[in-house]
Amino acid sequence: MTSFLKNDRFLRALLRQPVDQTPVWMMRQAGRYLPEYRATRAKAGDFMTLCKTPELACEVTLQPLDRYPLDAAILFSDILTIPDAMGLGLYFSEGEGPIFSHPLRNHQAIEALGIPDPHQDLQYVINAVSLIHRELAGRVPLIGFSGSPWTLATYMVEGGSTKTFSKIKGLLFDQPHSLHLLLDKLAQAVTLYLNAQIVAGAQAVMIFDTWGGVLTTRDYQLFSLQYMQQIVAGLQREQAGQKVPVILFTKGGNDWLEHIAATGCDAVGLDWQLPIGEARRRIGQKVALQGNMDPCVLYASPQRIREEVAEILASYGHGSGHVFNLGHGIHPQVDPEHVGAFIHAVHEFSPMYHGSVQNN
């Protein structure tokens, strides 16, 4: 499919084309569980410097690929780069996560927001994508990404992490017109941002809807899904003669898989709460599936990890259209040796589900 890629099985699986084995990568695969990441993070001095220095972002993006036979790289960045570029003053507090100095508290503040130009306000991300693409030299595809409008809005209105979602839901119920204005601006910003990543070298893109699952069915469709669909419709789906697949991932979104699959995306990301075989029966004829091992399995013994991998592969069954992943990001305390056992198991057990069997 992609003559310049030495390993294109990730892209082929996303497009439900035949592969020799099930591709595998991990959300947050460049992260704190790796000692080499921690060393680079210490060299950077703080998290935002790591994100905003393309050479360092490239270094940590490539670290897991140097250690494991992964089938894709994902840009090292943060989902909150767009709100930061909108002037909300993002910083990270140890033990508290992201915090905004200027959270959105009224309609006037939302009206005043500009839509960032990725080639000015987010040029450091675009430079990182270009550098990583060049350094990969066709080794594996590069995934670009963004947070979903609803997820970004949640952080921007709450001012940081939350357990109650009281401020964003208060806005949703009391001033829906203000929230729709914010979400529309964010959808425009995400579309521009992802398209710039695609031009710079991202060969697939993923939208992380981390907080979509806190909504009711009605509100998910109104305040999250329709804006992701707007983004999908505005994305550049081909670059340099190659298709650019789009993955949508709503954590806690298993009730709405059919609606997510109908957006026009190429693949739906799954958390660990639904057997992947059931998800395939529901939507696997329309889209590829990405997932969906519980990240906590990686705390178990290598043998138990292998058993879980085998069970998920068997649940999905024969044929292409499955990208093996965790159901959410890898935890910082996981033993890197257990990660190696996980990836090796996917590559060891998955070929039997491909090859001479017809792909669905």
Question: Is position 285 annotated in a ligand binding site?
Answer: no
3-state secondary structure of 34: coil
Question: Is position 13 annotated in a ligand binding site?
Answer: no
Q: From start to end of the chain, where are the E strands?
A: 73-74, 90-93, 97-100, 142-147, 204-209, 238-239, 242-243, 246-250, 267-269, 288-293, 322-326
Domain holding 289: CATH number? 3.20.20.210
At 94, the pLDDT band (50, 70, 90 cuts) reads confident
Q: Which residues contact 355 (CB under 8 A, 6 or more apart)?
A: 20
Mean pLDDT calculated for residue range 165-175: 98
Mean pLDDT of the chain: 96
Quick one: pLDDT at residue 19? 98
Quick one: pLDDT at residue 3? 45
Residue 3 lies in a domain: no
Residue 63 lies in a domain: yes
Residue 143 lies in a domain: yes
Residue 282 lies in a domain: yes
Question: Is position 335 annotated in a ligand binding site?
Answer: no
Cis bond upstream, residue 254 (ω within 30): no
Q: What is the DSSP letter of 296?
A: G
The number of folded domains in the chain is 1
Taking Cα atoms as reference points, which of 265, 244, 248 lies closest to residue 207?
248
Task: Answer whether residue 46 shows pLDDT above 60.
Answer: yes
| Contact status, residue 253 vs residue 213, Cβ threshold 8 Å | yes
Quick one: pLDDT at residue 281? 98
Which residues span the domain enclosing 283? 9-353
Quick one: pLDDT at residue 356? 58
Question: Is position 266 annotated in a ligand binding site?
Answer: no
Task: Answer whether residue 357 shows pLDDT above 70.
Answer: no
- Please identify every residue annotated as catalytic: 28, 32, 41, 78, 155
Residue 359 lies in a domain: no
Tens-digit pLDDT profile for residues 264-302? 999 999 999 999 999 999 999 999 999 999 999 999 999
Residue 360 lies in a domain: no
Residue 1 lies in a domain: no
